[in-house]
Amino acid sequence: MPSLIEAPEVPVFAVGETNNVSVSFADVLDEGELIAGTPVVIELTTSNLTIENKRVNTAAVVMGEHTIAIGKAVQFSVSGQGTVNTPYTIKITATTDSDPAQVKVRGINFTVEGVT
């Protein structure tokens, strides 16, 4: 499997949690370009996780020291019974509103931590 360009956001999950995730595409979009439609978000590693509520951000999102403008991030929720110390990869594919449309792909990698 070819490697994905990894997004700088690295979420941390605990077993049994449901987490909201935001991934910025701001650095790969042309000036004035936005993400359009519903992004495709899939887990590549296992079938342990459920990914729901896939959408483009409709409000500015603060990520660390950066504010990501409307239409420049993908958001979704991740839940399920992940396995401790198992590496997971999620692939995010977004289509833009440019003419012709571009397709941008990013990935996030994380492991699930146990709760003691």
- pLDDT given for residue 58 in this prediction: 97
Say whether pLDDT at 116 is over 70: no
Q: How many domains does the chain have?
A: 1
- Residue 59 has φ and ψ, to the nearest 5°, of -140, 155
Strand runs (DSSP E) across the chain, as ranges?
13-14, 19-24, 35-43, 49-56, 61-63, 66-68, 73-80, 87-96, 103-113
Nearest by Cα to 98 from 56, 53, 37, 22: 37
CA distance 109 to 29: 22
Residue 109 domain flag:
yes
Each residue of 23-41: pLDDT tens digit?
999 999 999 999 999 999 9
When the pLDDT of each residue in the chain is averaged and rounded to a whole number, the result is: 88
Decide if pLDDT at 1 tops 50.
no
CATH (domain of 48): 2.60.40
Q: Specify if 7 maps to a domain.
A: no
1 within domain boundaries: no
Does 96 fall in a domain? yes
Residue ranges making up the domain that contains 43: 13-113
Average pLDDT, integer, range 75-97: 90
